[in-house]
Amino acid sequence: MDFEPKYQPIRRKVRYQVSDRESIEITDRKPLEILRDTEGLIRRQAVAAIVPVVSQPLAAKIESASEVAEDSLSLLAEIDLDAISDVELQPARILVGLSFVGFGALAIALLTLFIYTLHPQLTHQQQIHQYWYPYVFFVSLGVTGLLTLGREIMRFTR
């Protein structure tokens, strides 16, 4: 996948009249640029508030993590989302579907293990009554993953 844009996006400038003497000029920006700027604003304020309070080694780690986040989001903001095609996104969608199915199955197995080891005194009816909501949630995750996989299979098998 080529991260260099093949064309420059059209930047519209919109003027908003705030008062009789003031007006604000806003440029349309890509969503990833807005994410970078918004996250950077919040992160820099949080780091500035936290660093004086914590120990020196931890402060250095926080500042280095902030720098890594700044670099990563700057690289991310350069990606042109309009240039990414459906075919390029198919492997990512398949992995997300498989992750949902796998996590749902693992969570159901862990829930069953939890019920049988920590609550052996419960009957099957009591187990279903007490742990119905987590079970339905984990099954729903698995079904969501299966539907995602089915959608991807049907999409490109023509």
User: Could you give the percent of the chain with pLDDT greater than 70?
Assistant: 82
Give 39-49 pLDDT, tens digit per residue: 989 999 999 99
pLDDT tops 60 at residue 6: no
Report the 10 Å Cβ neighbour count for 66: 18
**Residue 109: HSE in the Cβ half-sphere, 13 Å Cα cutoff:** 7
**Residue 120: HSE in the Cβ half-sphere, 13 Å Cα cutoff:** 1
Confidence of residue 5 (pLDDT cuts 50, 70, 90): very low
Helices 86-118 and 132-155, axial angle in degrees (round to 10): 160
Query: The whole model's pTM is what?
Result: 0.59
Confidence of residue 148 (pLDDT cuts 50, 70, 90): very high
Q: Rounded mean pLDDT of 123-136?
A: 91
pLDDT tops 70 at residue 7: no
pLDDT of residue 11: 56
CA distances in angstroms from 8 to 36, 83, 96, listed in the order given: 19, 11, 31
Give 70-97 pLDDT, tens digit per residue: 999 999 888 888 888 888 889 999 999 9
